[in-house]
């Protein structure tokens, strides 16, 4: 990704999304424009388009929307009821990072 016009909060969100999606760049590109810090579409359109993905991937997309602009509408119980252990742990790490990005390397 080459976001030359990204502000600090965009960069932090980018790092959080990178942590969340890990090796699955397809989810990152499904959500974010590769050339600038913007979503690929409106959040409603992204949620609608995610219907072709697995239920876990749909939830991860919604988590990404919540990280980016709060539009994902996730609920806490979805996280522990629907995600596998690996993705649930990633979300915990992302939350720790978002709380204190400068101290993230401590975790």
pLDDT mean over 8-16? 90
pTM (2 decimals)?
0.89
Long-range CB contacts for residues 79-85, cutoff 8 Å, separation at least 24: 82/55, 82/56, 83/56, 83/59, 84/56
Q: What is the pLDDT of residue 103?
A: 58
Q: pLDDT tens digits for 86-100?
A: 999 999 999 999 998
Report whether pLDDT(1) > 70.
no
pLDDT digits (tens, 9 = 90+) for 24-54: 889 999 999 988 899 999 999 999 999 999 9
Distance from C-alpha of 91 to C-alpha of 83, rounded to nearest angstrom: 10
Which residues, 6 or more positions from 29, have their beta carbon under 8 angstroms from its beta carbon? 40
The stretch 2-11 carries a mean pLDDT of 81
Distances (CA, A) of 72 to 23, 69, 75, 82: 21, 8, 9, 15
């Amino acid at each position: 990704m080459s976001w030359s016009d990204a502000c600090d909060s965009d960069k932090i969100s980018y790092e959080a999304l990178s942590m969340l999606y890990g090796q699955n760049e397809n989810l990152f590109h499904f959500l974010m424009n590769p050339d600038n810090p913007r979503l690929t579409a409106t959040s409603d359109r992204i949620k609608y388009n995610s219907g072709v993905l697995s239920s876990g991937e749909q939830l991860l997309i919604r988590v990404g929307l919540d990280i980016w602009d709060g539009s994902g509408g996730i609920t806490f119980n979805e996280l522990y009821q629907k995600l596998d252990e690996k993705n649930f742990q990633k979300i915990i790490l992302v939350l720790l990072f978002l709380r204190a990005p400068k101290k993230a390397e401590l975790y």
